[in-house]
Amino acid sequence: MRAADVLVETLTAQGVDLCFTNPGTTEMHLVAALDRHPAMRSVLCLFEGVATGAADGYARIAGKPAATLFHLGPGLANGLANLHNARRAHSPVVNIIGDHARAHLPLDPPLASDIAGMAGPVSRWVETVVDPGEAAEKTVAAVRAAYGPAPGVASLILPADCAWDENAPPPIGAQDMPGRKPVAESTIAAAAEALRAAKSPVIFLGGPALGEAGLRAAGRIAAATGARLVMETFPARVARGAGRVSAVRLNYFAEGAANDLKDADLMLLAGARAPISFFAYPGKPASFVPEGATLHEFGTAADNLAPALAALADALGAPADPPLAPRATAPAIGNPEAKLNAAQVGLSLLRYLKDGAIICDDSTTSGLGVYSWLENGPDHDWLCLTGGAIGLGMPLAVGAALAAPGRPVISLNGDGAAAYTLQALWTQAREGQKIVNIVFANHSYLILNVELAKLGDGPPGAIARRMLSLDEPRLDWVKLAQGFGVEAQRASTVGAFDAALEAALAADGPQLLVAEV
């Protein structure tokens, strides 16, 4: 059997049945194999950064890996930034990267490069198929590595001659895959004791603790102990809405974070690492842990935290049900001619979203303005930019929509970020996805203007201002979206945006709304 077919069949047998592709000549036998195995769905992306962001979004919602298929080192390189985000999200992803035939590689042809070297920084597992006989077993190993126990990125390099070999051993059927580890009973008992002894405990939640069940258990613990629930600033996925327990989202800036954690004498870490600042600043501390607070590790991203938190709640004699806030509803629009801002975008979303939406947020400053309005609104999942590599929002939406075809997907994008991977719009159009992409057009890298002002060097000069500005010329996002086959509208007032959002959510295919803020 041809090794390329063995690889594809082995992937689908492990439940990896979706592949985001941008193949080239070295991958032609894999393309032919995909043609013969319709159990694997292939989704073409115009740029590899779209494919990796989509694989991340798929993994966050489906809880299992998609595959990618890339053309040698440069193909992988174009996908690295969103693989960096996937790594930080603990998203399982299986990269298949074609390479030159084994005998060809030492000749150093133009497309040759150190693929394993490029893959290393974003992958928890990198291997090369060095003989067609191991195609099946290394494919299983890649999927296994992606699963965990802490899920992550696995990269399998397949030389062209290992793909085209006709005498490979048969595919391997479904194997058990590792899952997150259970938390030890002694850890649960120790946490209960620490919480009972603390005066002002904070449960710092992240990763797998931020699903509906984990938050529900955390809410019970909070009810029993008075602990405050705070979560990491950029979680991979957090369940939100009136039906869910809310945690305070740790402020991005040091001053706000200090306030969020004020007076804490215990920080119980559940799926999140001890909080630190995103960047270092001259003379400022990097840790947000309040002085005198004890750090208590309950579990990491590799642990199965929802049942552990439930057991902890039971150990603390917590009530069976956590208190929930009443469902928030949006007020009627005051002045429809008022200038649009991020908060009004949040209110429009609150007004029109139904339970079950998925929000993919890659809009640093504006997303923060939307976030709080949906706190107790319709139930939804909010997905963050986990690794700080902008250009994730629209690709993430591609993957999320494939993982949950019935759920509406919203992407929130800064205009600077959206310009990174706008090719995602084409895949959205091609696949007919029900995605509403909101681009916040402030015509600058706004967060960087904030950072530049913080240097204390005085007002920036013309050169620096121009380096952080997206004016001259302004991007016309309506035309860019239409160019990729996506319907688009622009709104600069509260009323216009509200009407456009209502219409976009009712549309069949992808939509883009430019929010002039």
Q: Total binding residues for a copy of itself by CB under 8 A?
A: 102
Residues 105, 112: contact at Cβ < 8 Å? yes
Residues 44, 68: contact at Cβ < 8 Å? no
413 is a site residue for a copy of itself (CB under 8 A): no
Q: What is the 3-class SS of 125-139, one letter each residue? A: EEEECCCHHHHHHHH
Least distance from a copy of itself to the Cβ atom of residue 22, Å: 9
Each residue 38-77 as x (binds a copy of itself by CB under 8 A) or -, in order, gives: x---x-x-xx-x----------------------xxxx-x
**Out of 8, 23, 198, 403, the residue judged to bind a copy of itself by CB under 8 A:** 23
Residues 19, 67: contact at Cβ < 8 Å? yes
- For the chain, the first-to-last Cα distance in angstroms comes to 58
Pair of tokens at residue 126? 């990198």
Least distance from a copy of itself to the Cβ atom of residue 102, Å: 9
Rounded to whole angstroms, the Cα distance separating 267 from 344 reads 35
Instruction: Provide the H-helix boundaries in 404-461.
Output: 415-418, 424-430, 446-454
Pair of tokens at residue 163? 């793909």
Which CB sits closer to a copy of itself, 1 or 324? 1
Site for a copy of itself in 271-330 (CB under 8 A): 273, 276-280, 282, 286-287
Pair of tokens at residue 170? 């048969």
18 is a site residue for a copy of itself (CB under 8 A): no
Interface stretch with a copy of itself, choices 119-127, 150-158, 186-194, 369-377 (CB under 8 A): 119-127
**Out of 12, 14, 68, 78, the residue judged to bind a copy of itself by CB under 8 A:** 78
CA-atom Rg of the chain in angstroms: 24
Which CB sits closer to a copy of itself, 164 or 204? 164
Site for a copy of itself in 372-411 (CB under 8 A): 386-389, 391
The answer to whether the bond into 473 is cis (omega within 30° of 0) is yes
Residues 479, 485: contact at Cβ < 8 Å? no
Helix, strand, coil share of the chain (percent; to 5)? 40, 20, 40
**Out of 193, 197, 466, 507, the residue judged to bind a copy of itself by CB under 8 A:** 466
Least distance from a copy of itself to the Cβ atom of residue 509, Å: 10
The tally of CA atoms less than 13 A away on the side-chain side of residue 99 is 26
Site for a copy of itself in 133-192 (CB under 8 A): 160-161, 164
**Out of 130, 174, 325, 455, the residue judged to bind a copy of itself by CB under 8 A:** 455
480 is a site residue for a copy of itself (CB under 8 A): yes
Pair of tokens at residue 99? 């390479």
Least distance from a copy of itself to the Cβ atom of residue 114, Å: 4
426 is a site residue for a copy of itself (CB under 8 A): yes
Residues 398, 383: contact at Cβ < 8 Å? no
Q: List b or e across 159-169, with b for residues whose CB sees 16 or more CB atoms inside 10 angstroms.
A: bbbbbbbeebe
Closest CA to 21 of 48, 61, 56: 48
Interface stretch with a copy of itself, choices 10-18, 100-108, 205-213, 498-506 (CB under 8 A): 100-108
Interface stretch with a copy of itself, choices 255-263, 303-311, 353-361, 475-483 (CB under 8 A): 475-483
Closest CA to 415 of 436, 397, 439, 391: 439
Least distance from a copy of itself to the Cβ atom of residue 454, Å: 8
508 is a site residue for a copy of itself (CB under 8 A): no
Site for a copy of itself in 212-231 (CB under 8 A): none
Which CB sits closer to a copy of itself, 35 or 185? 35
Which CB sits closer to a copy of itself, 197 or 279? 279
